[in-house]
Structure 1
Amino acid sequence: MNTIEKYNRLEELKKLVIQKKRLMVEDVVEYFNVSYPTARRYIQEVLTDNRDLKKIRNGIGLVSDIRESEIYFEEKLNINIEAKKSIAKKCASLILEGETIIIDSGSTCYFFAQEIYHKNLKVVSTDIKISMELIDNKNISVYTIGGEIRKGYYSIGGEIAKENIKNFFVNTAIMSADAVDLERGITNADVFEVPVKKELRKCSERLILIVDSSKFNCNSFYHIMPLSNIDIIITDSNIDKDIQKKIKEEKNIELIIV
């Protein structure tokens, strides 16, 4: 593609965002018939010189239309399903028989819980849906931390939950995230889960972050921890090549791509 064609595409992308208020990466892929990495590159380039546009999770939007609120759990289950299930399956393969683990809240963690169903484990859950998914399994002992339940999301959080989770120490903690940035680290859209998420590093020997590629190069409102706290990151193959390189070489974190 020559310089003029590229310029025209970026201008067209800008007009689309202004017209529709926001675009997801999937929309850019479909509209321009390009790959996911190319679509993300278009978004990044159009953001460089346009202050009226802003990066949002898995897309681009108008500054005046940015929403910090999350979508509900049931809706999350229908987004990037195949990527999340592949990530969950790979993560489950890293868990050994007899391990003790803590599972964070979120849709990818929910799919992970389904993948460990045949294993003999002790599981601490910070999510009501995940607890219910595992409770009838005779091979898994399920412990649920006490605290407030977030309606529409099923996570257990707040200061009470933060104190309760300190009673546990496990081999592995499985963590999700709303957004991951190489410099700012892991962030969350709502403060409710933040106190519990912050404790995951302290109460585990190994911390695994499971996130689909749409969460990278994004920021949410509340900071949780730097990337340096993570031992392993598992994500899908649509993650940008530059981000892959920086995670491995600059951050020195084991990166598994499915």
Structure 2
Amino acid sequence: MHPTGTRAAHHAPGNARQLGSRHRREEIYRLATTSGLTSVEELAATFDVTASTIRRDLATLTAEGRLARTYGGAMALLAHPESSLRQRLGEAYDAKRAIARWAAGQVRAGETVLLDAGSTVGVLAHELRTVTPLTVATTGLTSLEALAGLDQIHVECLGGTLRHLSRGFVGPLTEAALERMTFDRAFLGADGVTADGGICEAGLDQTRLKELMARRADAVYVLAHAAKLGHRPFHSWARLPAPWTLVTDDDVRPEAVAPFVAAGVDVVVVDPSGRAERA
């Protein structure tokens, strides 16, 4: 959050004090979407109203599904709407396929592998069809569909509550199943990934699950194409225990890779043929 009168005041309209309640709420929403977290105190100062008035405005915006209340303020829910898995499957497909090919090459026959939900991990599941015998546990419907019917791949579904947008399972049942297994390798997806924050996702249920996944595997890989590095679309984070490997594509800029290398992350950059270099 920002101190009273800083960023929110900078973006506020010149006639903020004359705004009616409806227009004020629209401005509050705009400030939340541009500034991220917004506090009651700074909003009250910006619009020259009481904190109680701001709390009523926030309650209205929350009831409309436009903001999420936080301790002492609010954050925008719709600033970066979460894409569906169907939408993401067509994004950067060549990069995802190259990443998946390299990742599949790390898996050895006879291993037990954990696959996250997500589009890039779903492509990886297709690439693993020739690595047999294999045991695969997954939270993703896309991976389940890719591996169904293959006699030499034993599949464990880590069921729970289905998130329809990501076509993945989350929640206490999924977490309980994870606690009963260990894995040679875990492959995780991400909506965004940073060197200081870890994996960024739309909800805390997803980030908690990814942290549990990382703790249950000997080797952890995060599969993220170049556009996701340094990207912070949401406010939920999964911190990963070191060491872990970031696998990305060769569209990535050196300045985007540098913070990960400095943080001790093993970074693999894959070209379209699936050949890789370590940063």
CA distance 1:209–1:65, change in 2 (3 Å): closer
SS at match of 1:109: helix
Q: Which ranges of structure 1 fall in alignment gaps of 5 or more residues?
A: 1-51, 56-62
Q: 2:239 aligns with which of 225, 228, 232?
A: 225
1:107 paired with 2:101, answer: no
1:206 paired with 2:203, answer: no
1:188 paired with 2:190, answer: no
Following the alignment from structure 1 to structure 2, what is the Cα–Cα distance between the partners of residues 246 and 127? 30
CA distance 1:187–1:229, change in 2 (3 Å): farther
Q: Partner amino acid for 1:225?
A: R
CA distance 1:195–1:64, change in 2 (3 Å): closer
1:215 paired with 2:212, answer: no
Shift of 1:54: 7.2
Shift of 1:100: 0.6
Following the alignment from structure 2 to structure 1, what is the Cα–Cα distance between the partners of residues 259 and 162? 36
Following the alignment from structure 2 to structure 1, what is the Cα–Cα distance between the partners of residues 225 and 174? 26
Following the alignment from structure 1 to structure 2, what is the Cα–Cα distance between the partners of residues 230 and 148? 30
1:32-47 alignment runs, 5 A limit: none
Which position in structure 1 is the counterpart of 2:67? none
Q: Residue deviations 1:83-136, cap 9 Å, x none?
A: 011100110011111111000000000000000101111000111221121011
Which position in structure 2 is the counterpart of 1:67? 79
Following the alignment from structure 1 to structure 2, what is the Cα–Cα distance between the partners of residues 64 and 187? 16
Which position in structure 2 is the counterpart of 1:156? 169
Following the alignment from structure 2 to structure 1, what is the Cα–Cα distance between the partners of residues 76 and 265? 36
Shift of 1:192: 3.5
SS at match of 1:186: strand
Following the alignment from structure 1 to structure 2, what is the Cα–Cα distance between the partners of residues 94 and 54? 41
| Greater length-normalized contact order (CA 8 Å, ≥ 6 residues apart) | 1
The structure with more radius of gyration:
2
CA RMSD of aligned residues (A): 2.3
Q: Partner amino acid for 1:185?
A: G
Q: How many aligned positions are there?
A: 199
Which position in structure 2 is the counterpart of 1:144? 157
Following the alignment from structure 2 to structure 1, what is the Cα–Cα distance between the partners of residues 263 and 121? 24
1:121-132 alignment runs, 5 A limit: 121-132=134-145
State the identity as a percent. Answer: 19
Note if contact 1:157-1:195 (Cα within 8 Å) is conserved in structure 2.
no
SS at match of 1:97: coil
Shift of 1:68: 3.1
Q: Partner amino acid for 1:152?
A: L
CA distance 1:192–1:69, change in 2 (3 Å): farther
Note if contact 2:199-2:207 (Cα within 8 Å) is conserved in structure 1.
no
Which position in structure 2 is the counterpart of 1:119? 131
Following the alignment from structure 1 to structure 2, what is the Cα–Cα distance between the partners of residues 101 and 92? 10
Shift of 1:138: 1.5
Which position in structure 2 is the counterpart of 1:18? none
CA distance 1:88–1:54, change in 2 (3 Å): farther
Note if contact 2:187-2:222 (Cα within 8 Å) is conserved in structure 1.
yes
More displaced stretch, 120-129 vs 99-108: 120-129
TM-score (norm 2): 0.66
Shift of 1:221: 1.4
Note if contact 1:159-1:195 (Cα within 8 Å) is conserved in structure 2.
no
Q: Which ranges of structure 2 fall in alignment gaps of 5 or more residues?
A: 1-32, 37-74, 271-279
Note if contact 1:172-1:204 (Cα within 8 Å) is conserved in structure 2.
yes
TM-score (norm 1): 0.71
Which position in structure 2 is the counterpart of 1:240? 253
Q: Residue deviations 1:48-74, cap 9 Å, x none?
A: xxxx9679xxxxxxx999623211111
SS at match of 1:117: helix
